[in-house]
């Protein structure tokens, strides 16, 4: 007998050789009662036993959960969350081992909880007018109580069942239904208290309702009402009168940052799992639910020392959608990227989804885990147009470069950060969000949520009004026009809506060329004032000539302002009266308002109502020189030349296209090209002999591009696209467009739905798309 066989038989012996199975429970309970129907049903428990017998990692997780159950028997848990974990661990331990002591331990906790007169954990809510009878804690308690009761129900006497069911209904289900669902008593709507509260509380009650459906006919009625409401919640379109955003965008992005998406979605998915297990059929389809994983993946940053997520708003870096992705796996969506994502965050115990008792039945086997470890995501760019979120990354390898930009809805857990950005490089947060503090501190509202705490442009110290944090931004920011090609990427963030009290035009253009990221800010204020480009950073920031060098260990980024002026390369401020000024401000450290944290600002000289900032970000890699950047300027345009070892790219901003012309077109000649483009980028390989003919042209909001007598692009409606010129011309659009004519000598490859378009008489006509 080989070692593996001996190990397997030994593990099986430990699991299966137990005391007389349910003797005590069968004496107390009724004959012929149903076994567990939800998380710990016979099929799930059979899989747990098989996994534990054959998979050392599954065995280790089972051992940890059994220790939690044993601890609950020897040392009664204290606090609601500890009781929730103990209930689920005891229920699992009972079903796996058939040892009555675990069922008895669960029974004791269930009866204790049922005896509580009030399950409300946030006491001040009861003093509101009208009083609130339910809260977040009740959502947790309802779900864990329902799961445990379902698992041990067939061991309980009729009297115990009646006590526990009545206590669960009185303590959790009815208060939640009355507050949030039942029209006869309801005091909340879908948009009350942020979308995460609604979901977490109601779907916890849904799990509880499913658990009592065989004891009280109302249980199934409540569960069906909540199942119906789940579709309404997810697809809630927002309300303009109430200034509330949609719960989710059509692209799966959530309205209130990563950590709150996880709270809401895990609650929804746990209910859907419980419904599927208990009812034997899938719940109602929800449009867009299949896209939520893409949102979590896109907002993650793989690091060798453990993954983090973008921490815009109130989200903390370790936040993740780990439990939600584990739920998707449990429901049969076996995307290996989910496992890689969950494993990336598993170093933070609270984020390790597979340590939950309810997830052990769905723990992926060794072959699935191995497959996931070698899977590789492909998309380097993600944009949520509905929620105003952008991520761009150099690649998906750990410690790569990731840029995140936020320009969406300001309210609740979303800060006044329209247009703000974060940069990660080599595992470090080099350009940072200030973070947040406890909701109870005065600095939470007084600093962390204000525009000054974010990487935005201000006018006289203002961007968004503080009132938006409570009232919501009536006009939300947006991000659009995504282009993603091997050599250049582009997106446009419009922060005008949330900042419209002070700005008539607040656009941030993101142009990523090779190792250089350009931020091009096109600004118009309502009144003349002092513009300032804010820079919150990690590590240390040191000015070296015209560049601010940010360093954290071996990670660094060079920040070089180019327009409206450069920093002086030396001397005193009085020696350079027209140069950009570098200001230092006192902010606060993330999570610790008692600690001061400096941040920087680039200030043009003098007051104005119009400004153009172009700032270059260059993440630094050991032993590799950064691309050379040069400032270019003409009468009607400004620009930057980026020269790498093998390629030269010039990026131009058309000053006539910044809104100063009305009823006229922004006709300009830039780099030998006639165009009305808002932004134009031309690129070519480094060649000998002075040949500068571009092989790639990127144009933003252009109706024509003409060069040397050739009409390269012709569109009556302005369009944003990238054109790769060559034997096989390719074009990539940033979305819908009108009829576009492209110069060609062979069929044009339109990346996207159009495919190959025939070339006739030197032109390919790409038909209008919606």
| Better-predicted residue by pLDDT, 316 or 526 | 526
241-261 average pLDDT score = 91
| Per-residue confidence band for 33, with pLDDT thresholds at 50, 70 and 90 | low
| Cα–Cα distance for residue pair 141/113, rounded to 1 Å | 9
Q: What is the DSSP string of 694-711?
A: -SEEEEEEEEEEEETTEE
Sheet holding 420-425, edge to edge: 381-384, 389-393, 402-406, 420-425, 428-431
- For residue 110, pLDDT beyond 70: yes
- For residue 450, pLDDT beyond 50: yes
- For residue 140, pLDDT beyond 50: yes
60-86 average pLDDT score = 97
Verify that 110 and 147 share a domain, yes or no. yes
Three-state secondary structure string covering 584-641:
EEEEEECCEEEEEEEEEEEECCCCEEEEEEEEEEEEECCCCCCCEEEEEECCCEEEEE
Verify that 548 and 664 share a domain, yes or no. no
The CA R_g of the chain, rounded to the nearest whole Å, is 30
Can the peptide bond before residue 566 be classed as cis, meaning omega within 30 degrees of 0? no
595-620 core/surface letters (b: 16 or more CB in 10 A; e: else) = eebebbbbebeeebebbbbbbbbbbb
Per-residue tokens: 234 = 């997810």
Last-in-domain residue among 621, 637, 656: 621
Positive or negative torsion for Cα 143, 146, 149, 153: negative
Verify that 534 and 638 share a domain, yes or no. no
407 in a structural domain: yes
29 in a structural domain: no
| Cα–Cα distance for residue pair 770/754, rounded to 1 Å | 12
pLDDT at 163: 98
Least confident of 2-11, 366-375, 579-588: 2-11
pLDDT at 5: 37
Positive or negative torsion for Cα 584, 585, 590, 593: positive
| Cα–Cα distance for residue pair 339/60, rounded to 1 Å | 18
Domain residue limits at 388: 380-621
pLDDT at 573: 73
pLDDT at 200: 96
- Answer whether 95's CB lies under 8 Å from 361's CB: no
360 in a structural domain: no
**Tens digit of pLDDT for each residue in 323-382?**
999 999 999 999 999 999 999 999 999 999 999 999 999 999 999 999 888 777 778 999
- For residue 751, pLDDT beyond 90: no
**Tens digit of pLDDT for each residue in 392-405?**
999 999 999 999 99
| Strand-pair category, 668-670 with 673-675 | antiparallel
Provide the Cα torsion 337, 340, 346, 348; round to 10°.
-70
| Better-predicted residue by pLDDT, 576 or 365 | 365
- Answer whether 411's CB lies under 8 Å from 389's CB: no
pLDDT at 532: 98
337 in a structural domain: no
- For residue 3, pLDDT beyond 80: no
Q: Which residue has the tokens 């509380």?
A: 201
| Cα–Cα distance for residue pair 455/463, rounded to 1 Å | 11
Verify that 285 and 261 share a domain, yes or no. yes
Strand partners, 670: 673
Q: Which residue has the tokens 């109580």?
A: 145
Last-in-domain residue among 299, 326, 344: 299
- The structural domain count of the chain equals 3
Residues near 513 by Cβ (< 8 Å), separated by ≥ 6? Answer: 487, 488, 627, 642, 649, 651, 681, 683
Verify that 586 and 647 share a domain, yes or no. no
**Tens digit of pLDDT for each residue in 311-321?**
999 998 899 99
402 in a structural domain: yes
- For residue 4, pLDDT beyond 70: no
- For residue 667, pLDDT beyond 60: yes
366 in a structural domain: no
175-202 average pLDDT score = 92
- Determine what percent of the chain is predicted with pLDDT higher than 90: 84
Q: Quick one: which of 122, 217, 204, 116 has its CA closest to 163? A: 116
CA 718 to mean position of chain CA atoms: 31
CATH code of residue 424: 2.70.98.70
Residues near 480 by Cβ (< 8 Å), separated by ≥ 6? Answer: 383, 385, 491, 492, 494, 734, 735
| Per-residue confidence band for 10, with pLDDT thresholds at 50, 70 and 90 | very low
443-471 average pLDDT score = 96
pLDDT at 377: 77
Answer left, alpha or beta for residue 151, where phi above 0 means left and psi between -120 and 50 means alpha: alpha
Q: Is 264 helix (H, G, I), strand (E, B) or coil?
A: helix
Verify that 237 and 193 share a domain, yes or no. yes
pLDDT at 11: 36
H/E element holding 37?
none
Verify that 549 and 631 share a domain, yes or no. no
| Better-predicted residue by pLDDT, 241 or 392 | 392
644-650 average pLDDT score = 96
- Answer whether 95's CB lies under 8 Å from 45's CB: yes
Verify that 608 and 672 share a domain, yes or no. no
113-126 average pLDDT score = 95
- For residue 713, pLDDT beyond 70: yes
Verify that 615 and 735 share a domain, yes or no. no
Overall residue count recorded for the chain in this entry: 770
266-278 average pLDDT score = 98
| Cα–Cα distance for residue pair 216/207, rounded to 1 Å | 14
- 305 phi and psi, to 5 degrees? -95, 15
pTM of the entire predicted model: 0.92
- Answer whether 554's CB lies under 8 Å from 400's CB: no
Q: Quick one: which of 134, 283, 124 has its CA closest to 202? A: 134
Q: What is the DSSP string of 71-126?
A: HHHHS---SHHHHHHHHHHHHHHHHHH--HHHHHHHHHHHHHHHH-S---S-GGGG
163 in a structural domain: yes
763 in a structural domain: yes
Verify that 615 and 654 share a domain, yes or no. no
- Answer whether 517's CB lies under 8 Å from 530's CB: no
Last-in-domain residue among 299, 321, 352: 299
263-289 average pLDDT score = 97
pLDDT at 194: 67
Q: What average pLDDT does the chain have?
A: 92
| Cα–Cα distance for residue pair 95/21, rounded to 1 Å | 10
Verify that 518 and 392 share a domain, yes or no. yes
Verify that 200 and 142 share a domain, yes or no. yes
Answer left, alpha or beta for residue 280, where phi above 0 means left and psi between -120 and 50 means alpha: left
- Answer whether 637's CB lies under 8 Å from 645's CB: no
- For residue 216, pLDDT beyond 60: yes
- For residue 27, pLDDT beyond 50: no
CATH code of residue 159: 1.50.10.100
């Amino acid at each position: 007998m080989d070692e593996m066989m001996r190990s397997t038989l030994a593990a099986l012996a430990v699991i299966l050789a137990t005391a007389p199975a349910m003797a005590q429970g069968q004496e107390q309970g009724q004959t012929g009662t149903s076994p567990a129907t939800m998380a710990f049903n016979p099929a799930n428990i059979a899989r747990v036993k098989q996994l534990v017998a054959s998979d050392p990692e599954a065995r280790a997780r089972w051992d940890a959960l059994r220790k939690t159950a044993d601890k609950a028997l020897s040392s009664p848990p204290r606090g609601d969350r500890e009781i929730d974990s103990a209930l689920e661990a005891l229920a699992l331990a009972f079903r796996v081992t058939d040892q009555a002591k675990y069922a008895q331990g669960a029974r004791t906790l269930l009866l204790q909880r049922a005896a509580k007169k009030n399950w409300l954990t946030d006491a001040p809510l009861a003093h509101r007018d009208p009083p609130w009878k339910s809260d977040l804690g009740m959502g947790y308690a309802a779900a864990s109580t329902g799961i445990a009761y379902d698992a041990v129900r067939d061991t309980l006497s009729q009297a115990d069942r009646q006590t526990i069911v009545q206590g669960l209904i009185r303590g959790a289900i009815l208060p939640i239904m009355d507050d949030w669902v039942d029209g006869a008593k309801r005091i909340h709507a879908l948009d009350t208290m942020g979308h995460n509260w609604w979901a977490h509380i109601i779907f916890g009650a849904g799990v509880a309702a499913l658990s009592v459906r065989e004891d009280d006919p109302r249980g199934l009625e409540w569960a069906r009402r909540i199942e119906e409401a789940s579709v309404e919640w997810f697809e809630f379109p927002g309300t303009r009168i109430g200034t509330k955003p949609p719960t989710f965008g059509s692209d799966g992005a959530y309205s209130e940052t990563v950590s709150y998406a996880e709270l809401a979605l895990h609650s929804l998915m746990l209910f859907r799992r419980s419904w599927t297990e208990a009812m034997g059929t899938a719940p109602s389809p929800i449009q867009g639910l299949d896209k939520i994983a893409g949102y979590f993946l896109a907002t993650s940053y793989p690091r060798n020392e453990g993954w983090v997520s973008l921490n815009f708003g109130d989200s903390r870096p370790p936040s993740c959608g780990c439990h939600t992705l584990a739920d998707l796996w449990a429901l049969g969506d076996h995307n290996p990227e989910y496992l890689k994502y969950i494993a990336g965050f598993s170093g933070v115990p609270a984020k390790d989804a597979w340590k939950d008792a309810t997830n052990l039945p769905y723990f992926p086997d060794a072959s699935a885990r191995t497959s996931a470890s070698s899977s590789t995501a492909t998309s380097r760019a993600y944009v949520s147009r509905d929620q105003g979120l952008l991520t761009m990354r150099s690649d998906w390898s750990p410690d790569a470069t990731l840029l995140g930009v936020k320009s969406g809805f300001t309210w609740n857990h979303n800060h006044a950060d329209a247009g703000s950005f974060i940069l990660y490089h080599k595992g470090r947060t080099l350009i940072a969000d200030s973070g947040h503090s406890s909701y109870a501190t005065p600095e939470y509202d007084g600093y962390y949520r204000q525009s000054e705490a974010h990487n935005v442009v201000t006018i006289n110290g203002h961007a968004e009004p503080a009132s938006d944090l409570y009232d919501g931004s009536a006009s939300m920011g947006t991000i659009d026009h995504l282009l993603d090609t091997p050599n250049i990427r582009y997106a446009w963030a419009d922060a005008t809506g949330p900042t419209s009290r002070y700005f008539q035009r607040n656009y941030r253009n993101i142009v990523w060329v090779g190792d250089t990221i350009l931020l091009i800010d096109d600004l118009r204020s309502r009144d003349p004032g002092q513009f300032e480009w804010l820079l919150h950073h990690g590590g240390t920031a040191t000015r070296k000539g015209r560049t601010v060098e940010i360093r954290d260990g071996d990670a660094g980024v060079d920040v070089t302002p180019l327009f409206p002026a450069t920093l002086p390369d030396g001397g005193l401020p009085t020696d350079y009266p027209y140069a950009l000024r570098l200001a230092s401000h006192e902010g606060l450290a993330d999570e610790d308002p008692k600690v001061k944290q400096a941040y920087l600002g680039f200030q043009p000289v003098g007051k104005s109502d119009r400004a153009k900032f172009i700032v270059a970000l260059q993440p630094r890699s050991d032993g590799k020189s950064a691309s050379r950047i040069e400032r270019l300027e003409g009468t009607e345009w400004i620009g930057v030349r980026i020269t790498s070892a093998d390629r030269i790219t010039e990026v131009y901003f058309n000053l006539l296209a910044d809104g100063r012309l009305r009823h006229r077109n922004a006709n300009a000649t830039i780099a030998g090209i006639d165009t009305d483009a808002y932004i134009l980028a031309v690129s070519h390989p480094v060649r000998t002999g002075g040949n500068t003919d571009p092989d790639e042209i990127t144009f933003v909001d252009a109706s024509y591009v003409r060069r040397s007598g050739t009409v390269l692009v012709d569109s009556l409606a302005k369009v944003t696209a990238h054109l790769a010129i060559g034997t096989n011309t390719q074009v990539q659009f940033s979305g819908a467009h009108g009829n576009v004519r492209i110069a060609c000598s062979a069929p044009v490859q339109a990346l996207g739905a159009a495919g190959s378009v025939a070339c006739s008489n030197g032109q390919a006509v790409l038909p209008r798309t919606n």
